[in-house]
């Protein structure tokens, strides 16, 4: 290679250092430590302070929490390892670019809109949680804190807190994946210990180490989530990331598919230990201060009461380390949607939407339902990618059909995606089916429909040519 060619390659690389529209080259691959730290940081998040107490609100029993969460998180790790990481390391493309090859640019625009908006709402709920940690730094009453029943902003001081935290998160997300991984990497071990410290102090104050007894709701507590509900919630609360393949954008940097095991750090530290620790915080307030579990208590106040300023910093950073990759992903989604927009512009757009969503506590306070709906809408696309990657040759349909045909809008993908999602939304709205039960059947139905419709479309094309 001539020096000129090398210079051109370096310039192209500098212009696209995140490899959004090309395979990640060998030299940009990252070892497993980046992923263990990132997953631990991302899933030991501010929202864990919300989900644990929400389980208490929903009357979850001790067996469901201790055994159900174990099973659900194990299933999530296996999904990451054997589906997402395998495809990511073989394709080495972002979800959006892979989708463009299958569905065409026009349909990816539609998908990116849904994806980017849902990511923004999720990151917004993380901003909400982090903002509850600002209140205890000021005299009581300065910032009115939201409860489980809050849907609207509680006042100007609340709005200013959300904006300040959201701007800081967006600025870090602007720095790209490397900085995002670093922040999560540094904070993860300390953050996890603060969650555990909250639980230890709470157990001390309650005068018992019998976690099983503490997690058992008092007789007569209405139970609105079952054992299976807990299993499916923990399996599919990140459905968009694993079965929905959003983490192709992250795991494409992995040297080997075994990097998928790194998700275990997030699942078992964040979605197991941290959820139970956070649940104990609300149990203390219910037992000692008579707080109604249906109303709850904001995470900032509970954590400050248990472990002080270290806890408040943890709530802010825990939200931050999760919101960063989420804003980054949303930025990638918008970049895929708007031709010509820079990654900086796309990330700023995503950050602005996240801040707007964070100001409204409704998203954070209905997180158990929201993550299920979010997975139900986005996971089916993963079903199509799984079919394209593993089954296309076996069932006799083309791989990357839109790229082959030059199509900008693959109707087969649109129908295969929207029909199962429409049925699922109907079941959720009219039949009261728990949202976390829906992503798996939706993804399977979408994959099967994609095969059937692709075959029908191919048969029609042959008939027309004949």
Partner 1 sequence: MKAAATSVGLLALGGTIVPPAVFMLQSISGGPGSTPALSLDVVKTVMFVSTIAWFVAAPFWMKVE
Tell me the closest approach of the beta carbon of residue 25 to partner 1, in angstroms.
16
Q: Does 27 bind partner 1 (CB under 8 A)?
A: no
Between the alpha carbon of residue 306 and those of residues 146, 187, 269, 299, 377, the distances in Å are 19, 20, 20, 11, 38
Q: Which is nearer to partner 1, 100 or 305 (CB)?
A: 305
Cα end-to-end span (Å), the chain: 49
| Chain mean position to CA 294 | 25
DSSP code, position 2: -
Tell me the closest approach of the beta carbon of residue 67 to partner 1, in angstroms.
24
60 phi and psi angles, rounded to 5 deg:
-65, 140
Q: Give the bridge partners for 254, in sequence order.
A: 30
Tally of CA atoms within 13 A in the half-sphere of 336 that contains its CB = 34
Q: Does 224 bind partner 1 (CB under 8 A)?
A: no
The residues, any chain, with a CB within 8 Å of residue 128's CB and separated by 6 or more, are 146, 162, 358, 359, 360, 361, 363, 364
Q: Which is nearer to partner 1, 130 or 234 (CB)?
A: 130
Transcribe 385-452 into DSSP letters.
Answer: HHIIIIIHHHHT--SSHHHHHT-S--HHHHHHHHHHHHHHHHHHHHH---GGGSHHHHHHHHHHHHHH
Q: Which is nearer to partner 1, 40 or 373 (CB)?
A: 40
Per-residue binder mask for partner 1 (CB under 8 A), 177-196, x = binder: -x--xx--xxx-xx--xx-x
Q: Which is nearer to partner 1, 37 or 104 (CB)?
A: 37
Q: Does 203 bind partner 1 (CB under 8 A)?
A: yes
Q: Which of 6, 22, 23, 205 binds partner 1 (CB under 8 A)?
A: 205
Tell me the closest approach of the beta carbon of residue 38 to partner 1, in angstroms.
9
Q: Which is nearer to partner 1, 297 or 389 (CB)?
A: 297
CB under 8 A: which stretch of 64-72, 127-135, 205-213, 451-459 binds partner 1? 205-213
Task: Name the strand (E) or helix (H) holding 365.
Answer: helix 362-365
Per-residue binder mask for partner 1 (CB under 8 A), 274-313, x = binder: ---------------------------------xxxxx-x
Tell me the closest approach of the beta carbon of residue 253 to partner 1, in angstroms.
10
Return the structure tokens found at 122.
């999720």
Q: Does 256 bind partner 1 (CB under 8 A)?
A: no
Tell me the closest approach of the beta carbon of residue 180 to partner 1, in angstroms.
10
Distance between CA atoms of 128 and 140, rounded to whole angstroms? Answer: 19
CB under 8 A: which stretch of 4-12, 26-34, 45-53, 454-462 binds partner 1? 26-34
Tell me the closest approach of the beta carbon of residue 415 to partner 1, in angstroms.
43
Q: Which is nearer to partner 1, 25 or 178 (CB)?
A: 178
Per-residue binder mask for partner 1 (CB under 8 A), 311-350, x = binder: x-xx------------------------------------
Distance between CA atoms of 100 and 326, rounded to whole angstroms? Answer: 21
Distance between CA atoms of 262 and 231, rounded to whole angstroms? Answer: 20
Q: Does 25 bind partner 1 (CB under 8 A)?
A: no
Transcribe 122-184 into DSSP letters.
Answer: HHHHHHHHHHTTTGGGS-TTSSPPP-TT--S---HHHHHHHHHHHHHHHHHHHT-HHHHHHHH
Q: Which of 157, 163, 164, 197 binds partner 1 (CB under 8 A)?
A: 197
Q: Does 415 bind partner 1 (CB under 8 A)?
A: no
* Interface of this chain with partner 1, residues 30 to 59, rule: CB under 8 A: 30-31, 33-34, 37
- Applying CB under 8 A, the site for partner 1 has a residue count of 33
Q: Which of 17, 208, 294, 342 binds partner 1 (CB under 8 A)?
A: 208
The residues, any chain, with a CB within 8 Å of residue 12's CB and separated by 6 or more, are none
Neighbours of 455 (CB within 10 A): 14
Q: Point out which residues bind partner 1 (CB under 8 A).
A: 30-31, 33-34, 37, 178, 181-182, 185-187, 189-190, 193-194, 196-198, 200-201, 203-205, 207-209, 307-311, 313-314
């Amino acid at each position: 290679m001539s020096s000129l060619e090398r210079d051109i390659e370096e310039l192209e690389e500098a212009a696209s250092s995140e490899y959004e529209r090309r395979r990640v080259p060998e030299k940009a691959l990252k070892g497993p430590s980046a992923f263990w730290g990132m997953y631990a940081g991302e899933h030991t998040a501010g929202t864990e302070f919300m989900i644990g107490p929400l389980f208490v609100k929903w009357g979850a029993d001790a067996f469901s929490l201790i055994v159900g969460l174990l099973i659900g998180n194990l299933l999530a790790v296996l999904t990451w390892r054997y589906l997402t990481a395998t495809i990511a390391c073989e394709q080495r493309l972002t979800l959006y670019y892979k989708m463009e090859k299958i569905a065409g640019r026009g349909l990816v625009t539609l998908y990116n809109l849904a994806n980017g908006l849902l990511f923004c709402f999720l990151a917004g709920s993380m901003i909400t949680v982090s903002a509850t940690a600002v209140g205890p730094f000021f005299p009581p009453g300065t910032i009115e804190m939201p409860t489980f029943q809050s849907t609207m902003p509680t006042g100007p001081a609340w709005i200013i807190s959300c904006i300040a935290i959201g701007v800081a998160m967006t600025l870090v997300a602007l720095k790209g994946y490397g900085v995002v991984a670093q922040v999560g990497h540094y904070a993860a071990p300390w953050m996890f210990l603060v969650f555990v410290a909250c639980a230890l102090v709470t157990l001390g104050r309650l005068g018992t180490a019998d976690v099983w007894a503490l997690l058992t709701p008092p007789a007569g507590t209405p139970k609105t989530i079952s054992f299976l509900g807990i299993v499916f919630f923990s399996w599919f609360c990140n459905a968009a990331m694993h079965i929905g393949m959003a983490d192709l954008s992250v795991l494409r940097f992995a040297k080997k598919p075994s990097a998928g095991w790194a998700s275990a750090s997030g699942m078992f530290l964040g979605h197991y230990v941290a959820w139970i620790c956070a649940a104990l915080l609300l149990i203390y307030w219910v037992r000692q201060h008579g707080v109604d579990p249906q109303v709850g208590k904001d995470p900032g106040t509970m954590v400050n009461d248990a472990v002080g300023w270290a806890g408040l910093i943890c709530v802010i950073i825990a939200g931050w380390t999760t919101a960063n990759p989420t804003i980054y992903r949303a930025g990638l989604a918008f970049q895929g949607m708007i031709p010509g927009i820079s990654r900086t512009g796309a990330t700023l757009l995503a950050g602005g939407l996240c801040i707007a969503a964070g100001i409204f506590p409704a998203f954070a306070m209905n997180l158990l339902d929201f993550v299920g709906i979010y997975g139900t809408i986005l996971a089916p696309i993963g079903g199509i990618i799984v079919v394209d990657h593993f089954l296309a040759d076996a069932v006799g349909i083309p791989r990357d059909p839109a790229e082959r045909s030059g199509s900008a809008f693959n109707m087969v993908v649109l129908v295969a995606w929207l029909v199962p999602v429409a049925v699922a939304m109907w079941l959720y709205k009219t039949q009261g089916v728990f949202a976390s039960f829906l992503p798996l059947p939706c993804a399977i139905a979408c994959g099967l429909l994609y095969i059937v419709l692709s075959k029908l479309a191919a048969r029609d094309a042959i008939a027309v040519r004949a």
